[in-house]
């Protein structure tokens, strides 16, 4: 794992089946189940796309109302985005656990799906990663059962109103030429094309015939992602812009201020947040908190777990409170479906979300990155410019 500094380390992808590698709220409707009808948003039957791995089913259900423009000087809502790297379900129940949590608290999230999680290992030679050998990956391929579970959860998540982004494929974070840090814009484009192919052709690649299609056109659904280990954004952005992506969430070490666009694409970085008990701050991602607590070990002595769980929870809450009580900058949290150090980071994320979603705060919006883009794009540029003048912890002085 490449370190940023004592203040935090770079994010990594979900370890999946393999060992760890370096690597009030908006009023959504009721949630769908795994067996919801194939065409929830349209008036006719679902329209298969390609081999039927995906299908057009109409407008995505369970979306917030159309965004409203702020008036000059009006206090903005507090946006919070919970996002998940990898988004594979490997039998630990974490994907459905957090889907249920989101449903219980009227929240929407972003799931950055690794395309490789829908490709069977026996077909791994279909993957040709830039500057790496054919079929190579720094994360594990999933078993057939886990691919099926991932497909079911991704399908249900979209129907519940969540966003499906991308975490690309092989998660190469080393220091050599194979690292995503050194990929060219053309190589990023090839990686994206492969990720999209694995998602849109899972039926052909797996041979599964007992699952419903993913209920969206991925060529339209995919409008942003997060790179492995937060590396390579500079060369990704030209490709993202050409593809019409709306945002990228790959920046490390961002501050809690209002976002800007880079090369025409919204830049949504992981943020430095207060780290209880320390004079330095930590990145707003589960693994970065882990790295500062157990020095990258995912199985530290259990006696440490209660204190670390409390510290992680308080870090997320402190980041939220600082934004909510001052400049109202959108707050971004990154996660992995992992049970590192006894699952304490999953517990911390859950407790933080419950705190943030307190019904007493009617001006909090738990949204996806795509929904945040919708709101930002609807605002007057001068209003956003005024908000960007507010530094970390600087009080908003406009009208409430």
Q: What is the pLDDT of residue 359?
A: 85
pLDDT at 211: 97
pLDDT of residue 400: 62
Q: What integer pLDDT is reported at residue 89 of this predicted model?
A: 98
- Beta strands 247-248 and 281-283 are unpaired
Q: What CA–CA distance (Å, rounded) separates 370 from 249? A: 11
- Residue 74 exposure: Cα atoms within 13 Å on the Cβ side: 12
Our measurement of the distance from residue 252's CA atom to the centroid of its chain's CA atoms, rounded to an integer in Å, reads 14
- Residue 86's pLDDT band (boundaries 50, 70, 90)? very high
Average pLDDT, the chain: 90
Query: Could you report the per-residue pLDDT of 217-230, keeping only the tens digit for each?
Result: 999 999 999 999 99
Distance CA 236, CA 267 (A): 12
Domain spans of the chain, in order of start: 3-26+71-388
Mapped onto helix, strand or coil, the DSSP state of residue 355 is: helix
For residue 39, what pLDDT is reported? 58
Pairing of strands 281-283, 272-274: antiparallel
Instruction: Say what the pLDDT of residue 264 is.
Output: 97
pLDDT of residue 232 exceeding 80, the answer is yes
Instruction: Check residue 296 and give its pLDDT.
Output: 85
Residue 398: band (very low, low, confident or very high) from pLDDT cuts 50, 70, 90: confident
CB 224 within 8 A of CB 370: yes
Helices 344-356 & 94-104, crossing angle to 10 degrees? 10
CB neighbours of residue 233 within 10 Å: 23
- Please give the pLDDT value at position 134: 98
pLDDT reported for residue 174: 87
Q: Is residue 34 scored above 80 in pLDDT?
A: no
Classify strands 3-5 and 8-9 as parallel, antiparallel or unpaired. antiparallel
Nearest of 265, 231, 271 to residue 248 by alpha carbon: 265
Residues 6 or more apart whose Cβ sits within 8 Å of residue 363? 24, 75, 77, 78
- Would the pLDDT of 8 be above 80? no
Provide the percentage of residues in the chain whose pLDDT is more than 70.
89
| pLDDT for position 41 | 52
For residue 40, the model assigns a pLDDT of 54
Q: How confident is the model at residue 360 (pLDDT cuts 50, 70, 90)?
A: confident
Domain 3-26+71-388 has CATH 3.20.20.370: yes
Which whole number is the average pLDDT over 18-47? 43
Q: What is the mean pLDDT of residues 331-354?
A: 98
Q: For residue 46, give the DSSP letter.
A: -
- Residue 309: closest CA among 270, 351, 281, 278: 351
CA distances to 12, 216, 224 from 57, in Å? 33, 6, 21
Residue 288 has pLDDT above 70, yes or no: yes
């Amino acid at each position: 794992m490449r370190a940023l500094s004592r203040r935090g380390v770079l994010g990594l992808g979900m370890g999946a089946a393999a060992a760890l590698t370096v690597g009030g709220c908006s009023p959504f409707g009721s949630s769908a189940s795994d067996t919801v009808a194939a065409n929830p948003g349209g008036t006719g039957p679902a329209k298969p796309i390609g081999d039927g791995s995906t299908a057009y089913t109409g407008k995505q259900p369970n979306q917030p109302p159309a965004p409203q423009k702020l008036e000059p000087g009006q206090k903005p809502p507090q946006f919070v985005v919970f996002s998940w790297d990898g988004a594979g379900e490997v039998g630990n129940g974490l994907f459905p656990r957090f889907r249920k949590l989101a449903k219980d608290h009227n929240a929407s999230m972003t799931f950055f799906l690794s395309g490789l999680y829908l490709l069977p290992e026996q077909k791994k030679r279909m993957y040709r990663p830039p500057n790496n050998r054919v079929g190579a990956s720094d994360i594990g391929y999933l078993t057939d059962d886990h691919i099926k579970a991932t497909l079911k959860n991704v399908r249900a998540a979209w129907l519940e109103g969540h966003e499906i982004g991308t975490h690309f494929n092989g998660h190469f974070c080393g220091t050599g030429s194979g690292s995503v840090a050194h990929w060219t814009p053309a190589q990023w484009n090839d990686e994206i094309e492969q990720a999209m192919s694995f998602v849109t052709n899972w039926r052909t690649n797996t041979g599964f015939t007992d699952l419903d299609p993913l209920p969206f056109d991925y060529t339209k659904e995919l409008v942003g992602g997060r790179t492995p280990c937060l590396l390579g954004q500079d060369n990704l952005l030209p490709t993202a812009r050409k593809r019409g992506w709306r945002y990228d969430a790959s920046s490390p070490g961002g501050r809690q201020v209002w976002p800007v666009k880079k090369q025409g694409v919204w830049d949504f970085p992981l943020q430095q947040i207060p780290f209880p008990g320390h004079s330095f701050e930590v990145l707003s991602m589960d693994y970065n908190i882990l790295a500062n607590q157990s020095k990258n070990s995912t199985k530290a002595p259990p006696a440490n777990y209660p204190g670390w769980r409390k510290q992680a929870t308080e870090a997320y809450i402190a980041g939220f409170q600082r934004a909510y009580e001052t400049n109202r900058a959108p707050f971004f949290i990154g996660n992995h479906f992992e049970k590192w150090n006894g699952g304490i980071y999953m517990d911390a994320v859950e407790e933080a979300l419950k705190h943030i979603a307190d019904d007493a705060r009617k001006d909090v919006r738990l949204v996806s990155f795509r929904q945040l883009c919708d709101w930002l794009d609807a605002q007057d540029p001068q209003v956003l410019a005024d908000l960007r003048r507010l530094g970390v912890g600087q009080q908003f002085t406009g009208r409430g």
